[in-house]
Amino acid sequence: MITEVEGAEREQVIQWMEEGRDVLGIIIRLFHDFDQLNGPLRTAETECQRLQAMLSEFQRMSTLAESLNRECQQLRNEVSRLQADRARSQKEREEMAEWFGALMNEAVGRLRAGQPAA
């Protein structure tokens, strides 16, 4: 049974141990870099969530604005229709007043024509 590592094998074990120290140093730096980047990443994720909430609110408001614009246009159309109806009704009243006035004038004229002269 060989209990001692001899010659080339010993050199290889020493080389592996030295390389292991280098690899361990790299792993430690990676963990440190991860910790350094993790804070800004969490901040960016929080900001992203905030912006997504704002975007959702903007989309909701945009949909509401479109709906209100459609309703406003419908109301404008209704006002235009009512104004046209009002103008038509006003014209009809004026025509009826003229007709009634002419009828009354004709009736007064007939009554006067039938009265004896004084």
Domain of residue 95: give its range.
47-111
Q: Is residue 32 part of a domain?
A: no
Q: Mean of the pLDDT values across residues 28-37?
A: 90
Q: Is residue 6 part of a domain?
A: no
Q: Is residue 7 part of a domain?
A: no
Cβ neighbours of 25 (radius 10 Å): 10
Q: Is residue 69 part of a domain?
A: yes
Residue 6 has pLDDT above 80, yes or no: no
Longest dimension (CA), the chain: 167
Look up residue 97 and give its two tokens: 């007043």
Structural domain tally of the chain?
A: 1
What mean pLDDT, rounded, does the chain reach? 90
Radius of gyration of the chain (CA): 50
Q: Give the Cα separation of 32 and 110 in Å (integer).
A: 116
Q: Is residue 75 part of a domain?
A: yes
Model confidence pLDDT, tens digit, residues 71-88: 999 999 999 999 999 999
Look up residue 76 and give its two tokens: 């404008």
Q: Is residue 118 part of a domain?
A: no
Q: Is residue 70 part of a domain?
A: yes
pLDDT at 1: 39
Q: Is residue 8 part of a domain?
A: no
Model confidence pLDDT, tens digit, residues 42-57: 999 999 999 999 999 9
